[in-house]
Amino acid sequence: MKKIVIINGPNLNMLGKREPNIYGNATLEQINAELCAIGKEKKVSVETFQSNHEGAIIDKIQEVSGKCAGLIINPGAFTHTSIAIRDALLLIEAPVIEVHLSNTYKREAFRHKSTISDIAAGKIIGFGASGYFFALKTLIAGISVKNGHNE
């Protein structure tokens, strides 16, 4: 069975409580439940993971390297700072899609830079939880892209 891994970074466990005007009212648990339901319907294993700790995220990426058909990641604030997460993502041979709930380009200037966009197959920003669903459906559909190029 094809396995898709979804990794969420710091503060995403506070969705629904944290700045709902920016991030929406859905909780991470609700988003994850919907992602798992989509996976079940499409006969794809969906594994979700969230941590507020950079090292735990790196450990998870290393753990699933070579064991997944695709990876969706919202590194949260680590998007803008973590070379270590970037380096770990280079281990993933499957397509990686970067997702952000808010449009980072409509926010503070420091949020405009991503350390992983250039190594991701794609980036989905500004569509709230729908971005996760689109990323998952894209990976399930078998669109095989890596590093921005069709394979």
pLDDT at 147: 37
The structure's pTM equals 0.89
The proportion of the chain whose per-residue pLDDT surpasses 70, expressed as a percent, equals 91
Positive or negative CA dihedral for 75, 77, 79, 81? negative
Selecting among 23, 105, 112, 149, the annotated active-site residue is 23
Which parts of 9-147 are beta strand (E)?
45-50, 70-74, 96-100, 122-125, 145-146
CATH numbers and ranges of domains, the chain? 3-150 (3.40.50.9100)
pLDDT at 50: 98
Write b or e for each residue in 6-19: b if 16 or more Cβ atoms lie within 10 A of its Cβ, otherwise e: bbbbbbbbebeeee
Of 151 and 119, which is predicted with more confidence? 119
Model confidence pLDDT, tens digit, residues 38-93: 999 999 999 999 999 999 999 999 999 999 999 999 999 999 889 999 999 999 99
Amino acid residing at 2: K
pLDDT at 149 over 70: no
Question: Residue 149 catalytic?
Answer: no
Question: Residue 105 catalytic?
Answer: no
Selecting among 100, 112, 132, 149, the annotated active-site residue is 100
